[in-house]
Chain A
Amino acid sequence: MDRELTCVECPMGCAILVTIRDGEIVSIGGNNCARGKLYAQNEVFTPKRVVTSTVKLEGGGMLPVKTDRPVDKDKIFEVMAVINSLIVAAPVKVGEVVASDVCGANIISAKEVL
C-alpha cells in the first residue's frame, strides 16, 4: 500500500509518495526538505497538527494562541475545549505559556499584550 500525501509544512505543498510494505515505510520521495520527511512519517501512522486559535483576554479582546508543537490530529477538539475554557490576564508576552501540557503540548501566546 502506498500513500500519496501533500506536505502541509510549508506553502510549497510538495507531493510526497510514501511506499509502505508490511506496515512499514520503505521509502519517502517527493519532499523537498527534511521537514517534509518527518511530516510524511507522522502522517502515515499518527497525523499531527499545530492548533492555532484565540483565547479571551480579561477585560475584553482576544489573544491569538497556538500549540508549541503539533498534537495528534484526533486530539484537536480536545485541545480546542481547553483553549475555549481559558481566560488570560495581561500582560502577556509572545511565546508565554498560557496552559501547559494539553494533549502533549503547551498553549502559548502568539501576541504581546501590555
Chain B
Amino acid sequence: MKNYDIIIIGGGPAGLAAAISAYDNGSRDILILEREPVLGGILNQCIHNGFGLTRFKESLTGPEYAYRFVEEVRSRGIEYMCDTTVLEVSTDKQVTAINSTKGVFSLSAKAIILAMGCRERSRGALNIAGARPAGIYSAGTAQKYVNILGQMPGKRVVILGSGDIGLIMARRMTLEGAKVLAVCEIMPHSSGLKRNIVQCLDDYGIPLYLSHTIVKIEGKDRVSGVYIAQVDEKRRPIEGTEKYFECDTVLFSVGLIPENELSKGAGVSLSPATKGPIVYDDRETSVSGIFACGNVLHVHDLVDFVSEEAEIAGVSASNYAMGKGADRRVVSTTCGNNVSYVLPQMLDTNASGMVKLYFRVNKVLPNPTIRLTSNGEDIVVKKKKIAVPGEMESIVLTPAKLQSISGDVVVSVEE
C-alpha cells in the first residue's frame, strides 16, 4: 500500500489551501483526492463575483478564486487525483478510494485532512403537500445546470428559502430570461447576506416574502404552480393567507450541512451544533492525526475564511506528519447566551500564535456586547453595531490572553 505524509480529502477551496500551506511548511509528500473531474470544488459553479475581497482585496468570481489556488498547487508540483471518490477513511489513517483507472485501491497517510465541504439541506422539500412532479431542484443543482451544463431548469420560478445560493440563483435565472415570481422565507429575517437581497432581488424587482412558506405544490408530471402562505411565530401556516403562483420550477435554498459520512466512519466525534468534527484550535479532530477544515467543519459565509482556516489545518497536519507534536493545555469553549456555536471547541492555551475563535449568534442582536469569560473573569469584551445569525463573528486571542485563561471559556453575546 502506498504511503503519503499527508492525504487531503477534497480538492475544493479548503483542500487546495491546506495543501499549499502544508507544502510551504516543509511537507512534500502530499496527495489531494477529488471526486469531480477538476479541482476547485463548488467554486467552479459559483460564477458570480464577491469572492476574495478579504484575501486578495479584489472582487473575484468563484472560478477565478479557485484558479489562483489551483495554480499555486500546480506550481509546487503537489500531486492530485481527480475523478476519485473516497469510500472510507479509517481511524488508523488508511484511505480506500475508487476511480475508473485503478478500481478500488487503498492508501495510507501519517496525517489526513478532511476537506469534503458541505451539501445542501433537503429537509424543507420533504414536508410539503402535493405530488413530486418534475421541476423541483435544490438551488445548487439548478446552479450546476445553468452554469456548468448551460441548461435552464425552467421559465417561471418560485424559490423556497432565502439562503445565499437561492438569492444568487434568483438573479442568475432572471438574467437568463426566466421569471422569478417569489422568494419565500419561513423566518421573519433573511438567512442570506443583505447585499444579496439588494443586488439579486431588489435590483430585479423580485419580491421576498418573509414569514412565508410553500404549503402546496401542484402539477402531475411537471410543476404547474405552488401555494404559499404566511406563517405564525411557531412557523405554522395561517389559514386564509394563501397565494397562488403559476410556475414550472421550484428551487430550495434552505441551508447547508457539513458532509461528514467519511468523518463518522473514521471515528471522528461530531458536534451537534456545527454538524462537523469537534476540533482543537489547530483543527485536529478527536482522532489523532486527522484534521478538518472548511465547510466540512462548519458552514462558512466567505470562502476567504475557508482558505484561512485550511491554512491552519495544513500547517498542523504538516507538523504532525513531521513528528512535531504539540504539548497542549486544553480548555473547552462553550456557548453562553445567544450563541449557537463556538469553534474550535477545544482550545490549547499554550498555543504560541494568535488563535481566532469563530461563533454565531442565534438571533438578530442590535448593539451587542460580545464577552469571552473564563471562571467568571472577563478575558475579552467588545462591542459591535449589530450581530446576525447569517454572519459569523470572531474573537482573536493573543498568546498573552490565552495564558490568562484559567479554565473552560464561555462566549456570550448580550443586547
Contact = CB atoms under 8 A, between A and B. Distances in A.
A and B together in one complex: yes
A66 B49 contact: yes
B47 A64 contact: yes
Nearest to A54: B147
Interface in A86-114: 94, 110-112
B59 A10 contact: yes
A53 B47 contact: yes
Contacts of B53: 9-11
B149 interface: yes
Interface string B332-376: 000000000000000000000000000000000000000000000
Interface stretch (B1-9, B60-68, B271-279, B317-325): B60-68
Interface residues of B, number: 30
Interface residues of A, number: 27
A19 B199 CA distance: 22
Interface string B38-72: 00000000011110011000011111100100000
A6 B198 contact: yes
Interface string B55-96: 000011111100100000000000000000000000000000
Contacts of B391: 11
Nearest to B54: A10
A49 B48 contact: no
A8 B199 contact: yes
B302 interface: yes
Contacts of A51: 175
Contact of B195 (A6, A53, A77): A6
Contacts of A11: 50, 53, 193, 195, 301-302, 391
Nearest to A15: B194
A84 B146 CA distance: 13
A41 interface: no
A11 B197 CA distance: 11
A110 B64 contact: yes
A50 B59 contact: yes
Given A53-B175, A54-B47, A9 B59 contact: yes
A13 B195 contact: yes
Interface of B: 47-50, 53-54, 59-64, 67, 146-150, 175-176, 193-195, 197-199, 203, 301-302, 391
Given A8-B198, A11-B391, 16 more contacts: A6-B198, A10-B54, A11-B53, A11-B302, A13-B194, A13-B198, A50-B49, A50-B59, A52-B49, A64-B62, A64-B147, A73-B203, A77-B175, A80-B176, A110-B63, A111-B64
Interface of A: 6-11, 13, 49-54, 56, 61-62, 64, 66, 73, 76-77, 80, 84, 94, 110-112
